[in-house]
Chain A
Amino acid sequence: AGPVESRTEAAMSELVPEPRQKPVVPMKPMGINASLLGYIGIDTIIEQMRKKTMKTGFDFNIMVVGQSGLGKSTLVNTLFKSQVSRKSSGWNREEKIPKTVEIKAIGHVIEEGGVKMKLTVIDTPGFGDQINNENCWEPIEKYINEQYEKFLKEEVNIARKKRIPDTRVHCCLYFISPTGHSLRPLDLEFMKHLSKVVNIIPVIAKADTMTLEEKTEFKQRVRKELEVNGIEFYPQKEFDEDLEDKTENDKIRQESMPFAVVGSDKEYQVNGKRVLGRKTPWGIIEVENLTHCEFALLRDFVIRTHLQDLKEVTHNIHYETYRAKRLNDNGGLPPMAVETEENHESNL
């Protein structure tokens, strides 16, 4: 019976007097379906938990990586319907492309429906823009690891903060140039290195330069190449929690991703409605129209359905991997430390 039915059942059984049997003696550890025995109220924990989380608020840190000119900042602004990225926050629009990769993080607080979110957008200007781009992912990897390190340092304090500030990168949008051919060596190198430390979501930028057929073919080729190179982008197969997750994520992994997107912060009037779009001589590209581009899919995926999961995978998997490696390597702990630690009887 679904939640609604058993709730009604429980409510009804309280109002309607009927000779009740003696409560069933359950055999431990079998589960007890409390709804049959009168309402206790343990399902109120959902509401209690929701209230508490709304009070504390949420953190979200999103990084954008890609060559300059691919529309990264515009896309992030479109995603969050707000001027949250570097380009809009008083930075010099005419600034030069930096000679090395820079990491620029900007934080804002946005609120919706009583939910407060501290959003940090991390931009990586200079990536892929040099003549020699060897190892240009290194500063990015370093930054990501530095955030894990910061969190670890707080975590091992004796006197810890109630809520450790979370600056770890939860999601990294990697912008693929819409060449229509295949992934470039830089794309592969970056994603190979970074997919092991952070959740990477590849997106095809400026997708309005491809026709539907070109788009489908390009996506297929990209997926194939990523697979051949052993690159696991988010949502990673190995972290699917149950069958439901797997089915849902399989569809996204094998059909929708990488999302081919178009970004815009300008509104136009189309069919009597105001829509976000890009105006061209041959028509207006509606950003949120699924027949035009997959922006809405990306937005729903990242924000409306998988945001919490992005954070949890970062915390439970990427961070734990970093921590284990760190504690293992440090202090000259022998490689056996991992096993002995697991078998370690309480000696403290």
Chain B
Amino acid sequence: CSIVFQGEGYRTVPLSGHVGFDSLPDQLVNKSVNHGFCFNILCVGETGLGKSTLMDTLFNTKFEGDPASHSQPGVQLKSSTYDLQESNVNLKLTIVSTVGFGDQINKEDSYKPIVEFIDAQFEAYLQEELKIKRVLHNYHDTRIHACLYFIAPTGHSLKSLDLVTMKKLDSKVNIIPIIAKSDAISKSELTKFKIKITSELVSNGVQIYQFPTDDESVAEINGTMNAHLPFAVIGSTEELKIGNKMMKARQYPWGTVQVENEAHCDFVKLREMLIRVNMEDLREQTHTRHYELYRRCKLEEMGFKDTDPDSKPFSLQETYEAKRNEFLGELQKKEEAMRQMFVQRVKEKEAELKEAEKELHEKFDRLKKLHQDEKKKLEDKKKSLDDEVNAFKQRKTAAELLQSQAQQAGGSQTLKRDKERKK
């Protein structure tokens, strides 16, 4: 059959009336709403920087969990998932926090568990995508959409741990750096601190998440907010009465810090950017940029290549299968080798035992022969002794007989002589 496509580009044609496909965005959105949304936040920061409190403050609720201790042997990640509902939106929120980050004496490997965790989520998604029978549209997406990096409020500069960790993460996740517990820094110090941090990030080539400015409706606000990074935040779930309203605040002898007062801290900016303006963009960037990069690297690492256009659907699946068969083949070979070794050992042992058995038999035979020889010797001796005894007895009897004969013969002999004389 012939397939004809008119022209290269698409011409725009006018409509002569209302068609009704302007409801498409609504149709799409309704389907998403029915499906529910996923949002996954990763909080990286030293113990005690207020990660859990900030999450509680952002989402107006107290998520469960006890504060961590400082004596963790290594960095771990703790993940919890919650179902939040607001209006008709159902959000599956997953919050992952580092536990024990920055507590160890040797922090060289501290970033590793974090990178491994992020990669593991990409891997799980890739696995699902590569399956033959897959259910991608019902897949619970665990990939991290936003990483809040908590910077300690020292007021000086970034710690080397911060730089190293952020550098390792910037190609894998959207990083939003924030200055934690920023009520510890004065306003003037804060400005200097922010400038120092930003310049350090730039000079070290750390790519943090930029709020998108391509859509006119949000370009302005996003552009402004980009200049306020890193956000200096304070978290608090305690409410105090200020004026005639209840507000989230922290009370000090010298005054009260209001969390939602933009003059006091950037909490409102963070909430605005993270949730109310860019949540969807964070999800999209994670999928189209970070995940695609991971996927590409992983597949190339495994030896796949985009070769000629004709063999594509095969090359991926085929090579994958080939690798799998190769791996299975190796496994089989190893198994076979082990089995051979086992059989060999058994044979050797069996031979050894047979040898031993043979020796024992021989020994037994020898002893038996020895025993028989001895026995024979003794019997011979006994026989010769018996013979001797018999011979002696015979001689004895013979001698006795002779004696008695001789006596009789002497008598009879005399008689005989006498008889002869008489004659």
Contact = CB atoms under 8 A, between A and B. Distances in A.
A107 B298 contact: no
Contacts of A307: 21, 24, 27
A51 B90 CA distance: 19
Interface stretch (B110-118, B157-165, B171-179, B304-312): B304-312
Given A82-B14, A348-B302, A309 B87 contact: no
Contacts of B127: 344, 346, 348
Interface string B223-251: 00000000000000101000011100000
B1 A51 contact: no
A342 B60 contact: no
Given A28-B64, A29-B81, A80-B15, A304 B20 contact: yes
Nearest to B304: A158
Interface stretch (B69-77, B191-199, B270-278): B270-278
Interface stretch (B3-11, B344-352, B397-405): B3-11
A251 interface: no
A84 B13 contact: yes
Contacts of A108: 10-13
Nearest to B31: A308
Contacts of B82: 26, 28-29, 31-32
Nearest to B90: A31
Contacts of A157: 306, 312
Contacts of A103: 1-4
A114 B218 CA distance: 17
Residue picked from B80, B132, B279, most chain A C-beta under 10 Å:
B132
A117 to B, nearest CB: 6
Contacts of B86: 6, 10, 33-35, 39-43
A49 B32 contact: yes
Given A35-B85, A346-B127, A50 B321 contact: no
A230 to B, nearest CB: 23
Given A23-B62, A58-B24, A324-B132, A29 B4 contact: no
Interface in A4-21: 6-7, 10, 17-20
A305 B90 CA distance: 22
A81 B21 CA distance: 11
Nearest to A52: B280
Contacts of A326: 313
A50 B31 CA distance: 12
Interface in B338-382: none
Given A17-B246, A45-B280, A162 B288 contact: yes
Contacts of B64: 25-28
B30 to A, nearest CB: 8
B237 to A, nearest CB: 6
A25 B317 contact: no
A291 interface: no
Nearest to B275: A41
Contacts of A37: 60-61
Interface of B: 1-7, 10-29, 31-34, 37, 39, 56, 58-64, 80-91, 123-124, 126-127, 131-134, 136-137, 215, 217-218, 237, 239, 244-246, 271-272, 275-281, 284, 288, 292, 295-296, 298-300, 302, 304-306, 309, 312-318, 321, 324, 327
Given A108-B11, A346-B124, 19 more contacts: A17-B245, A20-B246, A23-B61, A32-B61, A41-B271, A42-B37, A42-B275, A46-B89, A50-B29, A82-B14, A101-B1, A107-B6, A299-B19, A300-B20, A303-B23, A304-B20, A305-B23, A305-B27, A316-B136
Interface of A: 3, 6-7, 10, 17-20, 22-35, 37-46, 48-55, 58, 60, 79-84, 89-90, 100-115, 117-118, 139, 142-143, 149, 152-153, 156-160, 162, 241-242, 276, 299-300, 303-309, 312, 316, 320, 323-324, 326-328, 330-331, 333, 337-338, 341-342, 344, 346-348
20 contacts: A19-B246, A29-B82, A29-B83, A31-B84, A39-B60, A40-B86, A42-B37, A51-B218, A52-B284, A58-B24, A83-B13, A105-B6, A112-B15, A115-B21, A149-B313, A156-B312, A158-B300, A159-B296, A328-B132, A348-B127
